[in-house]
Structure 1
Amino acid sequence: MMKVGNYNFEIKNLKHLESRSEETNCFSAALYVNGKKVADCGNSGHGGPADVNFLPQYQEMKKEIEDFLTTQPKIKYENFEFDRTIEFIVDELVEKLLNAKVRQKLSKKTDKYLIFRNPQGTYYQIGWKKYSVDELFKKQSGRDMLQKTIANHVAKGNILINKNIPSELLP
């Protein structure tokens, strides 16, 4: 969910086609605003923003939201500035949902591996043939190895995804 002013935006019924996603995410979904389904949206995955098709009974609401969004500060990303639009909000919400699904899937592996996300947004795992992460906790040499490995990867700008690591092993 994303709150902008008095509007709560939410994506539901997301269907993502990773195999058809080239430059952007290929998806279909429903956009809810303040708890009401107001639009169907999607993207063909070939680049460009999401298509947001408001239902006929919400055309006036669409205009209200668009007018309101023009009063909001631009979104700054690196050296670029973007207008806050409904399409941008939909794309952001879809990206958040997809990232949450990836993290949820990866979190199931954290008992065996250290899972990191690099600055480009790619996830990777580090494991040991003979030991799982949970087994390495049991010996001081294993704890030392985990602490050193985590520190080295975090120092390179990577983010540790594991939630099962004791705080004393974190940098």
Structure 2
Amino acid sequence: METITQQDRITLNNLKVADFASEETLCFTAIVEFDGIPIAEARNDGHGGSTFVRALQGQIALLAQAEEFTRSLPPASLDLEREDEEPLIIDITLDFLVDQLAGAMYAERKLRTAFNRDVGNKVLFIKDGKLLFLKGIKLKAIADRPAYFASLRARQGQPIVILAELAPDEAFALWKQHVLGDKPR
């Protein structure tokens, strides 16, 4: 999950997104955590307005500390197409950071869903630096996967990496790299 602002003290938990209601901004609710402690509820109605952050009971002091922490972060530079071609510089606020985190978490969740759909239904493999799959072959229908994968390797004539044989996070990173064109990190 990538955001413009690099930090690890403020996180979101229990993110719920109403994609159908998102118009100008992401419509969501979430719990804001500061150093792992739930401190506030955040919500945005998705109509282009601000994100509202309300302290949980007894957490006003911690919310103030979180706001102070966000103000200490370096400004964000947004590369938007503008007439003067200068990047837009924005001071970081807690609601801005929460918006970034919610957007990044939601995008990652959507990517993870697409990956799970692909890896669960297709025999995906990397050959010659390209992500490929076998048409008409459902991964779930293969009874003896090790034997099938061995015969697939033998037919390819060169080394391949079969995503179904990798750990889920490793397979996701490789899939994401090829689908999004990301460079390995």
- With the length of structure 2 as denominator, give the TM-score of the two structures: 0.57
* Residues 108-167 of structure 1: CA deviation (Å, up to 9, x unaligned): 2156498xxxxxxxxxxx9886678xx9x76659x9xxxxxxxxxxxxxxx6338xxxxx
Separation (CA, whole Å) in 2 of partners of 1:130 and 1:62: 54
Match of 1:106 in 2: 114
Match of 2:170 in 1: none
Separation (CA, whole Å) in 1 of partners of 2:104 and 2:59: 25
- Report if aligned partners of 1:43, 1:50 keep a CA contact under 8 Å in 2: yes
Separation (CA, whole Å) in 2 of partners of 1:46 and 1:53: 19
* Residues 4-42 of structure 1: CA deviation (Å, up to 9, x unaligned): 3xx611211111111111111111111111121100111
Match of 2:95 in 1: 87
Separation (CA, whole Å) in 2 of partners of 1:3 and 1:44: 26
- Report if aligned partners of 2:10, 2:66 keep a CA contact under 8 Å in 1: no
Match of 1:121 in 2: none
- Report if aligned partners of 1:41, 1:52 keep a CA contact under 8 Å in 2: yes
Q: CA RMSD in A?
A: 3.8
Inter-CA distance 130–56: structure 2 relative to 1 (3 Å threshold): closer
Separation (CA, whole Å) in 2 of partners of 1:46 and 1:80: 22
- The gaps in structure 1 that reach 5 residues or longer are 115-125, 144-158, 163-171
Runs of 4+ aligned structure 1 residues displaced above 3 Å come to 1-4, 110-114, 126-132, 137-141
Separation (CA, whole Å) in 1 of partners of 2:53 and 2:93: 11
Bigger helix fraction? 2
- Report if aligned partners of 2:34, 2:62 keep a CA contact under 8 Å in 1: no
- Report if aligned partners of 2:40, 2:63 keep a CA contact under 8 Å in 1: no
- Structure 2: which amino acid aligns with 1:76? S
Match of 2:51 in 1: 50
Q: Percent identity?
A: 25
Q: In the alignment, which of 152, 157, 178 is matched to residue 160 of structure 1?
A: 178
- With the length of structure 1 as denominator, give the TM-score of the two structures: 0.61
Separation (CA, whole Å) in 2 of partners of 1:62 and 1:106: 35
Match of 1:39 in 2: 40
Q: Does the residue aligned with 1:13 lie in a helix, a strand or coil?
A: strand
Separation (CA, whole Å) in 2 of partners of 1:101 and 1:74: 27
- Structure 2: which amino acid aligns with 1:102? K
Inter-CA distance 90–113: structure 2 relative to 1 (3 Å threshold): farther
Count of paired positions? 138
* Residues 28-60 of structure 1: CA deviation (Å, up to 9, x unaligned): 111111121100111100013321111242222
* Residues 72-105 of structure 1: CA deviation (Å, up to 9, x unaligned): 2100010211111111121111112111211111
Separation (CA, whole Å) in 2 of partners of 1:97 and 1:71: 23
